[in-house]
Amino acid sequence: MAVNSTLLNTMRVAKETVVAIEYTLKDDQGNIIDASGERGPMEYLHGAQNIIPGLEQGVEGLVAGDTKNVLVPPQLGYGEYSDKLLQLVPLSAFGANTPQVGMRFHAETNLGMRVLTIKKIDGEEVTLDGNHELAGKTLHFDIKVVSVRAAEPTELAHGHPHQSGGCCGGGGCGSGEASGGGCCSTEEGSEGGCCSTEEPAAQKQGGCGSGGCGCS
Ligand SMILES: [Zn+2]
C-alpha cells in the first residue's frame, strides 16, 4: 500500500522543478568544506544553472527522500585551477591597508569583477589569485532531497525559486550572506555574484544576481 501512495506523490527532479536539498560537501581528504546544516536545505530551480553543473546532473531524476553521493570533477564544478588568474601587484597598491595572506576582496580585473585572494606576499610584491577557492577540486557531495515541486511561472521567468519572502527573500540567494555585500547590491550585480563570498558552496556564483534581483 505504501507503494501506491508513494507513486501518487512522487515528483522527480527535472527541468522546471524547484528542489530543496540538504548536503554536506567534502574534499578528497574527507574534510567538510560546506554543509547546508543549520542554514537549512538549499532550494534551487532545476535546469536554470542555479547550482554547479555536476551537482545538478547528480540530482536529476531523484525524488523527495532520496539520498545520494555525488562526485563532481573540477570541470563540472568550479573549473580547473588556472595560473592565468594569478597576478602580481606592488604592496603600495594597498595604500594604508596591510595585506595579509588569505585576505579576500572584490576587485575589477580584466576579466570583470572578481573575488581575489592574497596568495603570497614577497617583499614588495603581492600575488593575487582570482581562482575560485574550490577551483581544481573534486567535490564530494552527500545529498538528501527534501522536496520537489513544480516551479511557478514567475519563478521560471526569473530563473530562480521564490520563497515566502518573495524574490531574493529568505535564503533564496544565500541566507548566510553578509549584510554589507548583500545580494543584489549594484557592486556585485555586474558579476552576478550575489553573496559570492558567503554563499553556499554548492550554489553557483550568480545564482541569484543573474536572475535579476529586485524583481517581485
Ligand atoms: Zn525573482
**Which tops the pLDDT comparison, 114 or 73?**
73
The CA 132 to ligand 1 mean position distance, Å, reads: 26
Which residues have CB under 8 Å from 178's CB, separation 6+?
A: 195, 197, 198
The CA 114 to ligand 1 mean position distance, Å, reads: 24
DSSP letter for 166, please. B
The CA 158 to ligand 1 mean position distance, Å, reads: 5
The CA 144 to ligand 1 mean position distance, Å, reads: 25
The CA 166 to ligand 1 mean position distance, Å, reads: 7
For residue range 143-166, list pLDDT tens digits in order: 999 999 999 999 999 999 997 656
CB atoms within 10 A of CB 190: 11
> At residue 170, does pLDDT exceed 90?
no
The CA 76 to ligand 1 mean position distance, Å, reads: 26
The CA 102 to ligand 1 mean position distance, Å, reads: 34
Rounded Cα distance, 110 and 20, in Å:
36
Looking at every residue in the chain, the average pLDDT score rounds to: 80
CB 73 within 8 A of CB 138: yes
pTM tops 0.75, yes or no = no
Rounded Cα distance, 182 and 21, in Å:
23
